[in-house]
Amino acid sequence: MPDPVISVENLGKKYILSHQQQRSTNLREVISEGAKTLGRRFFKPSDVPATRTKPSEVEEFWALRDVSFEIEQGDVVGIIGGNGAGKSTLLKILSQITEPTTGRIKVEGRVASLLEVGTGFHPDLTGRENIYLNGAILGMGRVEIKRKFDEIVEFAEVEKFIDTAVKYYSSGMYVRLAFAVAAHLEPELLIVDEVLAVGDVSFQKKCMGKMGDIATNEGRTILLVSHNMGSIEALCTKAMLLVGGQIKQFGSAHDVVLSYLEPIYQSKSPLKKFANCTRRGNGKLQIISFHMESPEGTVLEAIKSGDAVVFVFGFENINTQPYERFSIGFSIHLSLHMGQEMGLHYGCLSHYASHFSQVHFRDPPDHGYVRCGFSELSLSPGEYILASYVMVADEEADRPHLPIPITVLPGDFYRTGTAMEKDMWGPLLVKGEWELSAAKDDLSMSQASVRQTP
Amino acid sequence: MKQLRRTSLVIEAGQGSSLYWQDLWRYRELFYFLAWRDVVVRYKQTLVGIAWVLIRPLITMVAFTIVFGKLAGLESKSPGIPYPILVFAGMLPWQLFSDSLSRVSTSLVSNSHVVSKVYFPRLIVPVSAILVSFVDFLVSNILLLALMAWYSFAPSWRVLTLPFFVLLTCLTALALGLWLAALNVKYRDFSHLTPLILQFGVYISPVGFSSSIVPDRWRLLYSLNPLVGIIDGFRWAVLGRGTQVHWLGFTLSVGLVIVLLATGLWYFRKTERTFADVI
């Protein structure tokens, strides 16, 4: 067995949070505080320990705790976890930006980390100058940069603007150039933090391709943080799931991604609460719960194809003005392999919002519900995912990143008196009027169609 | 090409990088690139560009010659040396020092976006800040040469010792600057303190006058300001006759600088591991 490239033992990182009224470290405070302590120590030595630790003001926070793992040469490891799970802290420690509080790390080979695209870019410098500067900051030598210069420019597709100050670049060009420099580093170990989510789709593909190249053709080791489960599964051989600063699972990328998404699907309660999820939007009105009920008002755990059903969105009005109109929308998705933050468009079956039907609500109560009733659910039996959002005054107010699982059971969609089969060919159900007739005259049919399209 | 030799890095709690000095060498080109960035950026979108380096000392020199030489009447106390040259020979090291110090002390904070996102030995940041001021200093030397040519003032062999005094100036700025830069990361008070030190310093250092006007019994005390030794040394190297260095005081200055530099390095190394957390 080859030696590990990275071995980490009992890694921990502690931050001290001070809960004082806006405690920016100010020299005067430190001096006066120090003088007080000194004074107390001088006069009443027994008092000192009590005044030193102020439990009400200072709180310890372990961003990482007891993290141990080993990574072998050529592994591409994805690091996943919710916000605040310690992913970025781990990368920062591995790339030596900050030191650990406990533990020991051994790394074999040259490390390059890419925690941000375009670190050290200076807006006043030209593209050419920034390539050299950024390259040097990332640890490349002048000779090395010169050798790769043309390749970098070509990859970034900015040949025409290479002698223009980057402050005049479009944001896409800027990001492309920045990624291009970083992508041409040749470290034995590359550490990347969520930088693939930049640029347009075609450039993202190019970046993914480049990363794949680095890993497979050149046999380098990569550590990658991403919220995009799709790219984790596509790029990584292994994945590590961090929860609350600890490793919950470390294994094959597919298994770890599945178990990361699992808790979101496995909550059995029919009422889904949106407590601790990340959100986008201005927050004027937030969705706090979702459930389904029958037209009579019974809460449903699962629904059947062809049944009448009501979707109920619970909301909390944060600061919507009475005159501002709002609407709620949702989308239904197919894929189980969906990321929490990205990829919600993937496998989208349908998207519907109240304003599509010209329904706008006004003057919401502090807490309330918006209901949307369907006379007939036309989904095949299976598992689906629902994502919802709120618009207030035509601006995005809330988009919780919490996919809601919906279970659809076989039902009597076709009104035959018996439930349909479980395995259908597609997610959408249609039904219509069937009719048999004899062909009358070929000529009259073609004439009819000609007449309809002038 | 890349070296195939495997480097093995150990990161341990409370230890810092095991390869710090090796890394400092590996990143040596970053000294140059950071300095180069600051030099280039400073004169982008300016009309006269690099000429600003000359305008500033020229105006100060004129002002000091008039205020100290003429109005205060100090010109008569240093016979044989044209006063503008006297002032300028004092002002060159002073500006190198004050420029370096103010750059160094804010260098980490003004590069915070890099410091919090990329690893490299942090010592590169303050040192390359000094390089920027050194470039200015080299350009300003042209003015001194011009002045000396104007007054037909020929330097002696002593001018060869000038690099030593230049180095001493830079080290003094670095010594004090390392303290200020590291402290500034945590306590922004120090960004207010530096201009104060410099404003004060220009009057208590012999920039606009010769240190010979200080009574002999105060000379040793006066030498506690390391700039006194440096400026005297500068004048001694450039002007030669008519200037003397208080050698005992000078040794004291050098000793002080060495102590400051050693402790500054120690404090910087001690705190640099937490820069990214507090900056």
For A159-201, the DSSP string reads: GGGTTSBGGGS-HHHHHHHHHHHHHT---SEEEEES-SS-S-H
H/E element, B113: helix B112-115
Amino acid B51: pLDDT: 81
Kindly report the average pLDDT of chain A as a whole number: 79
Contacts of A93 in chain B (CB under 8 A): 11
Amino acid A424: pLDDT: 63
- Name the minimum distance, in Å, from the CA of B134 to any CA of chain A: 20
Q: What is the dihedral of CA B63, B66, B72, B78, to 10 degrees?
A: 110
**Domain A272-409 top-level CATH class:** mainly beta
pLDDT digits (tens, 9 = 90+) for A38-88: 665 555 544 444 444 444 567 788 889 999 999 988 888 999 887 778 888
Domain segments of chain A: what residues? 62-109+188-264, 272-409
> Quick check: B12 pLDDT over 90?
no
pLDDT digits (tens, 9 = 90+) for B219-241: 888 888 889 989 988 888 888 76
Structure tokens at A62: 């372990």
Average pLDDT rounded to a whole number, residues A382-395: 87
- Residue in A293, A290, A297, A298 with CA at minimum distance from that of residue A315: A290
Q: Identify whether the C-beta of residue A201 lies closer than 8 Å to the C-beta of residue A136.
A: no
Amino acid A85: pLDDT: 84
Q: Within 13 A of A315's CA, how many CA atoms are on the CB side? A: 33
Q: Do B113 and A119 touch (CB under 8 A)?
A: yes
Interface of B with A in 145-204 (CB under 8 A): 186-187, 189-190
Q: What CA–CA distance (Å, rounded) separates A186 from A112? A: 8
Contacts of A136 in chain B (CB under 8 A): 27, 29-30, 32-34
Q: Identify whether the C-beta of residue B40 lies closer than 8 Å to the C-beta of residue A123.
A: no
Q: Identify whether the C-beta of residue A361 lies closer than 8 Å to the C-beta of residue A327.
A: yes
Topology at the third CATH level for domain A62-109+188-264:
Rossmann fold (3.40.50)
Average pLDDT rounded to a whole number, residues A182-205: 74
- Name the minimum distance, in Å, from the CA of A279 to any CA of chain B: 25
More confident residue, A35 or A44: A35
Average pLDDT rounded to a whole number, residues A326-354: 70
Q: What CA–CA distance (Å, rounded) separates A206 from A192? A: 16
More confident residue, A423 or A67: A67
Amino acid B261: pLDDT: 94
CA separation (Å) from A133 to A97, A126, A182, A346, B59?
A: 19, 10, 12, 39, 34
Structure tokens at B196: 């104060």
Confidence tier at B19 by pLDDT (50, 70, 90): confident
Q: What are phi and psi of A90, to 5 degrees?
A: -60, -45
Amino acid B159: pLDDT: 86
CA separation (Å) from B11 to A70, A78, A104, B18, B112?
A: 14, 22, 6, 7, 22
Average pLDDT rounded to a whole number, residues A10-15: 89
- Residue in A301, A316, A312 with CA at minimum distance from that of residue A407: A301
> Quick check: A328 pLDDT over 90?
yes
Amino acid B125: pLDDT: 93
Could you say which of B8, B29, B189 has the minimum Cβ distance to residue A141?
B29
More confident residue, B246 or A366: A366
Most A CBs within 10 Å: which of B37, B190, B274, as the mutation test of the A interface? Answer: B37
Specify which residues A373 forms β-bridges with: A310
Average pLDDT rounded to a whole number, residues A117-145: 88
Three-state SS letters, B229-271: HHHHHHHHHHHCCCCCCCHHHHHHHHHHHHHHHHHHHHHHHHH
Query: How many of the other CB atoms lie within 10 Å of CB of B170?
Result: 22
Average pLDDT rounded to a whole number, residues A260-278: 63
- Residue in B126, B52, B124 with CA at minimum distance from that of residue B95: B52
Amino acid A54: pLDDT: 46
pLDDT digits (tens, 9 = 90+) for A433-442: 999 988 876 5
Kindly report the average pLDDT of chain B as a whole number: 85
Query: Hey, is the C-beta of B40 within 8 angstroms of any chain A C-beta?
Result: yes
CA separation (Å) from B32 to B23, B35, B36, B127?
A: 15, 5, 6, 10
pLDDT digits (tens, 9 = 90+) for A222-242: 888 887 666 777 788 899 999
> Quick check: A137 pLDDT over 70?
yes
Query: Hey, is the C-beta of B10 within 8 angstroms of any chain A C-beta?
Result: yes
Q: Identify whether the C-beta of residue A51 lies closer than 8 Å to the C-beta of residue A37.
A: yes
> Quick check: A335 pLDDT over 70?
no
The percent of residues above 90 in pLDDT, for chain B, comes to 26
Q: What CA–CA distance (Å, rounded) separates B11 from A106? A: 6
Structure tokens at B102: 């103010």
Q: Identify whether the C-beta of residue A335 lies closer than 8 Å to the C-beta of residue A384.
A: no
More confident residue, A58 or A188: A188
> Quick check: B5 pLDDT over 60?
no
The secondary structure of chain B in percent helix, strand, coil, rounded to multiples of 5, reads 75, 5, 25
Q: Identify whether the C-beta of residue A5 lies closer than 8 Å to the C-beta of residue A73.
A: yes
Q: Do A113 and B41 touch (CB under 8 A)?
A: no
According to DSSP, the β-strands at A279-280 and B8-12 are: unpaired
> Quick check: B6 pLDDT over 70?
no
Residue type present at position A371: R
Specify which residues A252 forms β-bridges with: A238
Average pLDDT rounded to a whole number, residues A187-193: 83
Average pLDDT rounded to a whole number, residues B106-126: 90
| B209 DSSP 8-state letter | S
Q: What CA–CA distance (Å, rounded) separates A250 from B187? A: 41
Amino acid A444: pLDDT: 54
> Quick check: A454 pLDDT over 70?
no
Buried-exposed string B94-107: b where 16+ CB fall within 10 A, e elsewhere:
bbbbbbbbbbbbbb
Mean pLDDT lowest among A67-71, A257-261, B114-118, B174-178: A257-261
Long-range contact list for A342-349, CB < 8 A, 24+ apart?
A342/A197, A342/A227, A342/A228, A342/A230, A343/A228, A343/A229, A343/A230, A344/A387, A344/A403, A346/A230, A349/A379, A349/A384, A349/A427, A349/A428
> Quick check: B177 pLDDT over 60?
yes
Contacts of A122 in chain B (CB under 8 A): 37, 41
Q: Identify whether the C-beta of residue A293 lies closer than 8 Å to the C-beta of residue A259.
A: no
Average pLDDT rounded to a whole number, residues A367-385: 87
Confidence tier at B88 by pLDDT (50, 70, 90): confident
Amino acid B102: pLDDT: 93
Mean pLDDT lowest among A109-123, A263-277, A399-413, B222-236: A263-277
Q: What CA–CA distance (Å, rounded) separates A354 from A326? A: 9
Residues A131, A135, A141: CA angle, nearest 5 degrees: 120
> Quick check: A291 pLDDT over 80?
yes
Q: Identify whether the C-beta of residue B8 lies closer than 8 Å to the C-beta of residue A108.
A: yes
> Quick check: A337 pLDDT over 60?
no
Q: Identify whether the C-beta of residue A228 lies closer than 8 Å to the C-beta of residue A197.
A: yes
The percent of residues above 70 in pLDDT, for chain A, comes to 79
Could you say which of A108, A115, A129 has the minimum Cβ distance to residue B117?
A115
Categorise residue A86: left if φ over 0, alpha if ψ from -120 to 50, beta otherwise: left
Structure tokens at A121: 């870019």
The DSSP code sequence of A53-110 is --TTTEEEEEEEEEEEEEEETT-EEEEE-STTSSHHHHHHHHTTSS--SEEEEEEES-
Interface of B with A in 14-33 (CB under 8 A): 14-17, 26-27, 29-30, 32-33
Domain segments of chain B: what residues? 31-278
Structure tokens at A384: 């689906």
Q: What CA–CA distance (Å, rounded) separates A433 from A420? A: 18
Mean pLDDT lowest among A167-171, A416-420, B14-18, B249-253: B14-18
Q: What CA–CA distance (Å, rounded) separates B253 from B274? A: 32
Buried-exposed string B7-31: b where 16+ CB fall within 10 A, e elsewhere:
bebebbbeebbebeeebbebbebbb
CA separation (Å) from B36 to A206, A225, A226, B27, B113?
A: 32, 33, 35, 15, 18
Amino acid A47: pLDDT: 43
More confident residue, B40 or A264: B40
Amino acid A342: pLDDT: 40
- Name the minimum distance, in Å, from the CA of B120 to any CA of chain A: 8
Confidence tier at B8 by pLDDT (50, 70, 90): confident
Long-range contact list for A149-156, CB < 8 A, 24+ apart?
A151/A184, A152/A177, A152/A180, A152/A181, A152/A184, A153/A127, A153/A180, A155/A180, A155/A183, A155/A184, A155/A206, A155/A210, A156/A180
Structure tokens at A204: 């993202």
Amino acid A17: pLDDT: 76
Mean pLDDT lowest among A95-99, A101-105, A339-343: A339-343
> Quick check: A329 pLDDT over 90?
yes
Most B CBs within 10 Å: which of A15, A31, A99, as the mutation test of the B interface? Answer: A99
Q: What CA–CA distance (Å, rounded) separates A232 from A216? A: 15
Give the nearest chain B residue to A94 (CA atoms): B11
Query: How many of the other CB atoms lie within 10 Å of CB of A415?
Result: 8
Query: How many of the other CB atoms lie within 10 Å of CB of A390?
Result: 28
